[in-house]
Amino acid sequence: MQEKVQQLEYLNEFSALLNSTLDTAAVREKALEATCKLLRCETASLYLVDSQKAELYWETALGETGKQLQKSVRLAIDDRSIAGYVAMTGESLIINDVENDARHFKKSRRGGFVSLTMICVPLKAKDRTIGVLQALNKLPSVPERPSRHSWPDFYEEDKRLLETLSHQVAIAVENSRLYTDIKKNFFDTCEALAEAIEKKDRYTGGHTKRVVSYSMSIAEFMNLSAEQLEHLRLGAILHDVGKIGIEDKILKKEAQLDADEWAEMRSHPKMGYDILRRVEGLKDVIGGMRSHHERWDGSGYPQKLKGVEIPLIARIISVADTYDAMVSTRPYRTGMDPKAAFNEIVKCKGTQFDPAIVDAFVEAFSHGKMGRGSGELL
């Protein structure tokens, strides 16, 4: 009775986790932890269906042995492997002598891990099989590791338990996929908007994509979180969206801008902020987008922010944007040599730019990640 209560607690705990995150990796990792807890097994693994290739691909396994063992495995959806058979038929299997099963995928013996007993169940969403969940090597009730020939068997009750869990795992996987698709569509829409605005200015073609690339390259050397990287990418995509409100004659002018024209051009960060501030999905991005022309010493615009008052993503975009502006050719000047532009960025460390961002820029440049001409420092 106590074991049943514990199993129910594990299921409820996992269900709560599903409602707390849409992060794909976190959901799948927790699914395997729940599998090992519920089934009291040595390890667990998850395959997902690649519908375009009609194959299963290994997604993740619990424990370093499993990760090293199967990270590149792809299986046909047929009866030449246990997981492939389950995906093909939609039938759950208990196999208590895996080594002698003709469908056992022999490559899974590599790396020192041996599959002895197994439950393999399909993941189903809306009557489609979207993957396969496996529990491997049921553990004995005593803590000592058994010999190869004395591992306990899995039973029907274990299979029913894993099937119950698989329903929740399938929901989690499908929801995270839908969330990923929605997020991708959102990014694609933002990129299309930025590209449409860029078409107004024939002299800055490709600028946005380069600023995104340079910003992300700088961030590689800053130990940012996945969320910060996502915000940075969005901010870089949209950093010039306010130029939609700038007169075409200014954007397309082939000579240097006069004072009045510069005043209008300098309004684009605030315009972009005003346009996008009501978009819920951008609330953590627009402040950084508005501030990419602020300066570390407080002499920038539009708010004259100083130091860490400037949002982090704006400080990164500022370096990337300035570097691209210097190396790009305009009608009224030729683009600078990348090494000369590099030296200008370094010279402005602590005045125009955050010193820590410049340090990361130097690393990115020295590793050849800042486009043409980077990678060598004299």
For 139-143, which contacts have Cβ atoms below 8 Å and span 24 or more sequence positions?
139/40, 139/41, 139/42
Indicate the residue type of 115: S
Residue bearing tokens 């420092």: 377
Determine if the peptide bond prior to 302 is cis (ω within 30°). Answer: yes
Tell which residue, 344, 372, 340, has the closest CA to residue 358: 344
Q: What pairing do the DSSP bridges indicate for beta strands 128-138 and 41-50? A: antiparallel
Residues 6+ apart with CB under 8 A from 195: 208
Tell me which residue of 56, 133, 356, 66 sits closest to 224, measured CA to CA. Answer: 356
In angstroms, the CA 352 to CA 307 distance is 10
Q: Active-site residues: which are they?
A: 243
Alpha carbons 16 and 22: distance in angstroms, whole number:
12
